[in-house]
Chain A
Amino acid sequence: MAALARLQARLSGLREEYFRRNRYLRKMTIVIQKWWRGYRSRRYFRKMVKIQKRWRGYYVRKYIHNYYALKKYLEAISVNNEIIRSELQKYTEMKENEEKRKDLEKKEKEKQYQARKMHYLLSTEQIAGIYNSPFRKSPDPMELLLRKSKPLSHRRQQTKSPFACELHDWPTCKRPPSFSTAQPLPCIGRQKPQGPFRDPAEVLRQRYKPLEPTLRVAASISSPLEKAREEMKREEWRNRVHDNEFLPFSSYHKNEKYDPSIHRSGKYGQEAYGIKHFREVQPKKWVTDKDFRTVLPSIVLFEKFGKTYSRTGQIV
């Protein structure tokens, strides 16, 4: 008996010793295995780094910092710049030509006006004018101009106001407003009215100026949106084939009977078949009224099948 007790004590001591040594070994195994696993995966990691390094270089060079695309873009910019420069050059040339043309026209008009004023200098049969000297082979161009031009009438012409040239620039006013000043208005026999006066030409221009309504005045009361809507309605009414409107689909099906589905088509509501059970049950054909029963527990492990955690949501 005592020997048994002694054996048991030694057994427990041995057991502790065994577990202690086991614990130490276990720790050592864990350390070695950790190091080994790290080493293996780092080898793979280095291989993967090589692949990724290559892939990143390729991707960046091809899509983000594409050198060739940049070069092409810069070439395209130079080409575009050349085009823009040539177009702007053409534009400036055009403007310069216009300016020159305007100047020339002005000078021409001046010359013609002078010729009309100095019409009396035209040479006659008897007396040669100053521009038609007998010692010259052909008459001066001024002489020719004098021959062509009509003499200015004695009547005082309207003073050319400085607005005349500006008027041509107005976008809506293509020609200066011409109003009849063939005869000046007869003077009324009253004393001279007082005050600073505007130029009569200006006053007459203002008085006979055609109406140029602003946008607010010219637009009709009903806004363009409403007009467009009315127009659209009229067009639709015109183009319709028959006048019955299309009804919405809910009213199409208004008079139809409702077919319930199979889940609801029992006499008193839901049928149990299909929801509660699927197979038919015929208790009369049953051999016994007891269920199957396990006779022997065959394999302990297989008994636990489906029962370890929960069975259809119930905790075992």
Chain B
Amino acid sequence: MSQRQVLQVFEQYQRARTQFAQAVAELASRPQNIETLQNAGVISLLRPLLLDVVPTVQQTAALALGRLANYNDDLAEAVVKGDILPQLVCSLSEQNRFYKKAAAFVLRAVAKHSPQLAQAIVQCGALEMLVICLEDFDPGVKEAASWALEYIARHNSELSQAVVDAGAVPLLVLCIQEPEIALKRIAASTLSDISKHSPELAQTVVDAGAIAHLAQMILNPDAKLKRQVLSALSQIAKHSVDLAELVVEAEIFPVVLTCLKDSDEYVKKNGATLIREIAKHTPELSQLIVNAGGVAAVIDCIGSCRGTVRLPGIMMLGYVAAHSENLSMAVIVSKGIPPLCACLLEEQEDHIKAAAAWALGQVGRHTPAHARAVAVANVLPTLLAMYVDTRSSEDLQMKTKKALKNILQKCTYLPALEPLLHDAPPNIMKHIVGQFSKVLPHDSKARRLFVTTGGLKKVQEIKAEPGSLLQEYISTINNCYPEEIVRYYSPGYSEMLLERVENYHPVL
């Protein structure tokens, strides 16, 4: 055989391999083919192609593996069990950037499914290689590497600690400063996933100087980048007061308030989350936010959104109002109560309604002035209806009950309490009647109104055990009125009168 014929055989083989790899890669991009591919045993066939001589075959094979592993966790497990990861990791160091990108894609696709698979990746020493990839010149390689690190670090704090121990954090902070927007996005979300698990990890991220760069990037016009940056800052700020103060010192206020007006929903949500995480720690931080006008911005944001996007904003108002009565009055003065009532009425989800009820309870619980502001908004009947409704979840019922109790214990605004008398359950009735018994002895106009609106009649109809608190309150109320009125309104009075008529012998 001549030399050319020999070489032709090899060329044919090479062409066949390339075609196979390309075809599998293309088929794997469509989900309906993957079952068939899996049954045909594609992983064991792709494995030797990873060590092929021709670089394009290697790259295509790696790309195909990545797409397969991305699809579901069985395939990812098969990739891990097939001992492919050590080969990938070894060849990561010496190959060109296309291969590095494809290999990082495979690692990411395997790691995203479960913590055990991510642990397997960490154990075969992939972290060091990924960190080396982070120092590469090509931004695409850096992006792929940091994406893989993000999916590893996202599962739990041990894996995050492993990522931090491999020295990834300073390199990620450098990646954030790169000009490519995609790389910035991924690096920011990786930092967010690392710092969300524990305060020590968040402190490590802060020590690498991430906060200043993240704070600068809030001004960037790209919406997805802003989402990740705000999420990262809120994960850092949520752990402790010191971290929250560090985030505030980076001068994010009042710039963050412009994020609350962004056209992208998730930017608004993450911005509200960040403000909530800062506000919940101490009254001083809440005071700072109130002084910067944050409460008004959050209230507008709640008014303009719908659905779960509102939830962090509602919780933020609740936290601010919970700290002290002055802050709660500040929330009321900034017209915070109407949006909260609207949330309570409009939203379908129970957890959002529960959050709105809790926030209203925090606003109204401090002094009678606060309770009056809440009661005037006519929200107490809604709360009562939600409490009594059997379809409400347990969480919603508990929160509405607490809110009602907190507000009712301070409410002296009787016109708002009247409608509640008619259909309240006994444990709430106790508080309502208690409030009446506190106000009525001192106010004659209120006494008159109480009689004319039928409240006295209702009170007489309440059955209370003698000696209970409710009975005491009822007797206090009855003592405010002359005996004839009380007897007139007591149940069965008409029958009693008729009986007297029957038994009366006319005087002739």
Chain A residues packing against B (C-beta within 8 Å): 70, 73-74, 77-78, 80-85, 88, 91-92, 95, 99, 166, 169-173, 194-196, 212, 214-216
Among B290-298, B391-399, B446-454, the stretch that binds chain A is B290-298
A-B contact pairs, 24 of them (CB 8 A): A73-B330, A74-B329, A77-B290, A77-B330, A78-B333, A78-B334, A80-B293, A81-B293, A82-B296, A85-B293, A85-B296, A85-B300, A88-B260, A95-B263, A166-B181, A169-B221, A169-B222, A170-B180, A194-B18, A195-B60, A196-B25, A196-B60, A214-B177, A216-B174
Contacts of B291 in A (CB 8 A): 77, 80
Tell me the bound Cα distance from A214 to B180 in angstroms: 11
Contact of B22 among A80, A169, A196, A214 (CB under 8 A): A196
Complex Cα gap A81–B254 (Å): 12
- In the complex, A170→B60 CA distance in Å? 30
B457 interface residue (CB < 8 Å to A):
no
Known contacts A170-B180, A194-B56; is A84 also within 8 Å of B297 by CB?
Answer: yes
B466 at the interface (CB under 8 A from A): no
C-alpha spacing A95/B260, complex, angstroms: 13
B257 at the interface (CB under 8 A from A): yes
Residues of A with C-beta under 8 A to B180? 170
| B44 contacts partner chain A, Cβ-Cβ < 8 Å | no
**How far does the alpha carbon of A188 sit from the alpha carbon of B77 in the complex, in Å?**
45
Query: Which of A169, A173, A194, A216 has the most CB atoms of chain B within a 10 A radius of its CB?
Result: A194
- Give every chain A residue within 8 A of B178 (Cβ-Cβ): 214
Q: CA separation between A34 and B297, bound complex, in Å?
A: 69
Residues on B with C-beta less than 8 A from A80 are: 291, 293, 296
B258 contacts A by Cβ under 8 Å: yes
In the bound assembly, the distance between CA atoms of A171 and B56 in angstroms comes to 34
What residues of chain B have their CB less than 8 Å away from a CB belonging to chain A? 14-15, 18, 22, 25, 54, 56-57, 59-60, 63, 174, 177-181, 220-222, 254, 257-258, 260-263, 290-293, 295-297, 300, 326, 329-330, 333-334
Main secondary structure of the interface of A (DSSP, over half): helix
From the candidates A74, A85, A99, name the one contacting B333 in the complex (CB within 8 A): A74
- A84-B254, A195-B60 known; A74 vs B330 contact (CB < 8 Å): yes
Most A CB contacts (10 A, CB to CB) among B260, B261, B333 go to B261
In whole angstroms, what is the CA distance A170 to B185 when docked?
A: 13
Q: Are B300 and A196 in contact, with the CB atoms below 8 A?
A: no
Choice from A73, A81, A172 contacting B296 with Cβ under 8 Å: A81
Question: Considering only CB atoms, which chain A residue lies closest to B295 in the complex?
Answer: A81
Max chain A Cβ within 10 angstroms of own Cβ: one of B14, B60, B174, B293: B293
CA distance A92 to B222 in the complex (A): 15
User: Is the CB–CB distance between A194 and B293 below 8 Å?
Assistant: no
Minimum Cβ distance to chain A for residue B137 (Å): 9
Q: Across the interface, do B261 and A91 meet the contact criterion of CB distance under 8 Å?
A: yes
Q: CA of A220 to CA of B449 in the docked complex: distance in angstroms? A: 83
Q: With A84-B257, A88-B300, A92-B261 in contact, is A172–B293 under 8 Å at CB?
A: no
Residue from B25, B174, B177, B296 with most neighbouring chain A CB atoms (10 Å): B296
What's the minimum C-beta distance from A257 to chain B, rounded to whole angstroms? 59
